[in-house]
Structure formats: C-alpha cells, structure tokens
Amino acid sequence: MVPVPKIPADLDGFRVEFFKETLRADVVLDRPSFNLISMAQRDQLRATFEALDDDPSVRVIVVRAVGEHFSSGSLMEGVMEAQSGQASRAAWNMAAPARCSKAVIAANRGYCFGAAFELSLACDFRIATETTLYALQKAGQVPSAAGSARLQKMVGIGRAKEIVMRCRVIDGVQAYDWGVATDFVVDSELESFTDDMVRELLELSPLAQRAAKRLLNDIPEEPPSPEE
C-alpha cells in the first residue's frame, strides 16, 4: 500500500491554514521580516503540496505571506552549501505547485525574488499588485534552470533573457503586461480578490479543472512539425 502523504511536523518558515467550509488551504510564508526560504523549507513545501493534493477536503490552494513582502528569496547559507544534487532536488521541490492536480493561486505583494519567484511561477495563477516586484536572481548568481524555463514558456525567449540575463526586476504592472502575472489589483484588494478567485474556481467541476491543468501543463512549447 502506498503511504498517504502527510504535512510535516514543525514546519520551517511557513504554516498551513485550512478553511474547511470553503474547501481551501493556505500555505502561508512566515519568517520575519522578508520570509526567506531555507533549503529544509523547500523539502517541506514539496511534502505539503503532496499532502494537500491527496486531501479530499481541499479543492483550492493559496500561497501567500505574512507582512509586506511575499519573500525576498533564499537563505543564502543554505544555497551556498548546496551541492549539485541538492540544487536539483531544490528545483524539484519548488515546482511542487505545478505537479499538484489542484488549482494553486499565488498572492504576490512586495518582493518576490529568487526561490519565491520560482515557487510562484509554478503556481497556476499569480496575482500582483502595485507593490509587487519580481526577479529570478541577483547579479552574479546562477539562475534557476527550472524557473528560467517556466518563465520562457510564459513570456518568450526574448523577454526571459531580459529578466534572467540582465537580472531585471519587473513590477506588477509590467509583469501583468508581459503575462507573468495573471491578474493585477490594487494592494488593498489582494485578499478580497484572492477570495473571489477561490469562490470562482469552486464553482467549476474539479474533475474538469484537473484534466485541464494536466493537459495544459503537458502541451509542448512548439507544435510538432508537419513531417512528424
């Protein structure tokens, strides 16, 4: 028998809040003051998404944060100590929202840098505000291959190179214009808009949503050639 995934005990830098009446679970980043993400936290985030995916009482997952910033990225000591195998595992962990069969919303305000941007890119929907700032890495750092590939699929190779190779920081308006953010709202309406989106998703068929997500995630970037 395959073991049922469970949310890890003693979560590092985040918590999970359940709203049973609305079939919603929130993954809440909470490590004052910039919600930095540790290597251990990445493992726990992956395990948490797997557990929520297996939980029949959860239909929609929201990733949000405490404070004025979603997250300014990774705790650098963990990143510097990580070897190549660990880095690959870390990237796999940050892609957990994409592998989750349920709808996942990222509510992004303030800084959303590095690993946090990678985590948000793996979500199905990203809500940005006028305070939101996105960047994949800082100057001198090696960019995330998985995050870069996901970003390129969204915005195209030219704009992906603009963000990654030039270490560009883009604000919420530009992110929405370029298709990085799926929605843009004023900062004071982020929570209410997120609530409305959850209600909208709950009105749709869960089986159809899962099938649509799987289909869209599996579509190749380019159509097959006429010879194939």
105 found inside a domain: yes
Can you spell out the DSSP letters for 103-150? EEEEE--SEEETHHHHHHHTSSEEEE-TT-EEES--TTSPPPHHHHHH
- In this predicted structure, what is the pLDDT of residue 227? 45
pTM (two decimals): 0.90
Print the domain residue range for 43: 14-218
- In this predicted structure, what is the pLDDT of residue 186? 98
Number of domains in the chain: 1
- In this predicted structure, what is the pLDDT of residue 3? 64
Rounded Cα distance between 20 and 211, Å, is 23
4 found inside a domain: no
Task: Output the 3-class SS for 151-203.
Answer: HHHHHCHHHHHHHHCCCCCEEHHHHHHHCCCCEECCHHHHHHHHHHHHHHHHC
- In this predicted structure, what is the pLDDT of residue 79? 55
pLDDT along the chain (228 residues), means of 10: 77 97 97 94 97 97 98 76 66 94 98 96 98 83 77 94 92 97 98 98 95 88 42
Which burial class, exposed, middle or buried, applies to 10 when counting CB atoms under 10 A from its CB (0-12, 13-18, 19+)?
exposed
24 found inside a domain: yes
Burial 111-121 (b: 16+ CB within 10 A, else e): bbbbbbbbbbb
Q: Residue 64 forms beta bridges with which residues?
A: 28
Q: Tell me which residue has tokens 């068929």.
A: 205
Total Cβ atoms within 10 A of residue 3 = 5
- In this predicted structure, what is the pLDDT of residue 140? 52
Rounded Cα distance between 74 and 42, Å, is 10
Domain at 197, CATH number: 3.90.226.10
- In this predicted structure, what is the pLDDT of residue 195? 98
95 found inside a domain: yes
3 found inside a domain: no
44 found inside a domain: yes
225 found inside a domain: no
Task: Give CA separation, 132 vs 112, 113, 158, 210, in Å.
Answer: 7, 10, 22, 29
- In this predicted structure, what is the pLDDT of residue 145? 75
